[in-house]
Amino acid sequence: MRQKSRDSFTPIGESYASLFQRLVQWGMITPLLGFTLNRYLRNFDPNIRCAYHFDAQGHSIEDCRDLKREIEKMIQDGSITVQNIDSEGVLVMLICKPVAKSSG
């Protein structure tokens, strides 16, 4: 049987909810419409909603692997720059590069 590989994410030093709000404000990410979680998943919680999945039930934004993967992709492609990592590997500062909005 094949084992599912574990994702590895760069520490961001703040909550994913906080970073998500900034990324939305800067036009770097948008909530995903039409997403529903499988209610039969082991960790599905009908009392918790995920802002990245347009408030779909099932998990919190802090536990959202899709959001973590998207943010990690932004870190890898340079859209988000991680700086000032301390000796224990904890991120002290995260610099985002807002998308330039066209005037029309």
Helix (H) or strand (E) holding 90: none
| Residue with the two structure tokens 């997403």 | 35
Among residues 35, 86, 93, the alpha carbon closest in space to that of 65 is found at 35
pLDDT band of residue 84 (cuts 50, 70, 90) is low
- Nearest-angstrom CA–CA distance, 38 and 20: 23
- pLDDT at residue 48 is higher than 90: yes
Most confident of 26-35, 59-68, 86-95: 59-68
Mean pLDDT over 97-104 rounds to 57
- Which residue has better confidence, 89 or 18? 18
For the entire predicted model, the pTM comes to 0.76
- Which residue has better confidence, 96 or 76? 76
Q: Domain residue spans in the chain?
A: 16-96
Handedness of CA 32, 38, 43, 47 (dihedral sign): positive
Residue 22 phi/psi, 5° resolution?
-65, -45
Give residue 3's pLDDT: 46
- pLDDT at residue 82 is higher than 50: yes
